Amino acid sequence: MFIVCIVLAAVIPYLLCGINSAIIVTKIRTGQDIRELGSGNAGLTNTLRTQGKAAALFVLIGDILKGVLSILMIHFIFKFLLGIDTYSVAENYTWVNYFAGIFGVIGHVFPLYYGFKGGKGILVTFASMLAIYWIAGVVPFIIFVIVVALTRYVSLGSIIASACYPFCVLIFSLMRNDPCSWINFGLAAVIGAMLIFMHRANIKRLMDHTEKKLGQKSGENEAAK
């Protein structure tokens, strides 16, 4: 039964987080594929730039809900089928939540429903962070906000926050005397590495000084060069 639950911890987050709010909202609103608009990314920032604030709000809500639900569903499955509390440090299974988080990110980035082409996974990861261990998610979010406020580059804030996340997990896990601290760190590092990898094009544009800033609409990139 434990093996079955581990399989579910991979399959459920993958399938649930593969439901892309940006693609759905844009399709309903304009009939277009957001992956063919703006930056081509099926995420919140591109939705805001190409579809406006109302559409972006629905994407925000959708991505947060699926990120939180993907973790909570696995927690309850382990709780009711195995009697294991994945939030309890004493039971040595906190790593299960981070394991599920990895597959949630994979589902969002490489969704089965949309030809394995989704978003970059930042928002759904943040939602998962809050559901796994909120304080280890809030700190990277604060870092993200500070970087974006100072530079107006959402991508730069996302990259730096992603790099900081595993270390936040390690520090707060050690502070709680979690026996799974280093396992959690390793799994969180996988998540962080995936997010940074998905921003590789942004990194190139940042280095070339051609990356769009927050508030800059699609199509304005030439003026920023």
pLDDT along the chain (225 residues), means of 10: 96 96 93 89 88 92 95 96 94 96 95 90 91 93 95 93 96 96 97 94 92 67 33
Q: Please classify residue 189 by burial: count the beta carbons closer than 10 Å to its beta carbon, then call 0-12 exposed, 13-18 middle and 19+ buried.
A: middle
CA–CA gap between residue 21 and residue 161 (Å, rounded) = 23
Report the predicted TM-score, pTM, of the whole model to 2 decimal places. 0.88
CA distances in angstroms from 209 to 114, 157, 202, listed in the order given: 31, 15, 10
Looking at the structure of the chain, the number of domains it has is 1
Category of 85 on φ-ψ map: left (φ > 0), alpha (ψ -120 to 50) or beta: beta
For residue 161, the enclosing domain spans: 2-224
Interacting residues of 65 by C-beta distance below 8 A, sequence separation 6+: 127
Gap between the Cα atoms of 187 and 189, Å rounded: 5
pLDDT at residue 18 in the model: 94
What does the pLDDT read at residue 225?
27
Q: What is the C-alpha to C-alpha distance for residues 157 and 19, in angstroms, rounded to an integer?
A: 25
* Helices of type H across the chain: 2-17, 21-30, 44-51, 53-82, 95-109, 122-151, 154-175, 181-198, 200-208, 221-224
> To 5 degrees, how large is the angle CA 203–CA 43–CA 137?
75
- Measured from the Cβ of residue 215, the count of other Cβ atoms closer than 10 Å reads 10
In this prediction, residue 95 carries a pLDDT of 97
Burial of 35 (0-12, 13-18, 19+ CB in 10 A): buried
- Residue whose structure tokens are 């280095």: 207
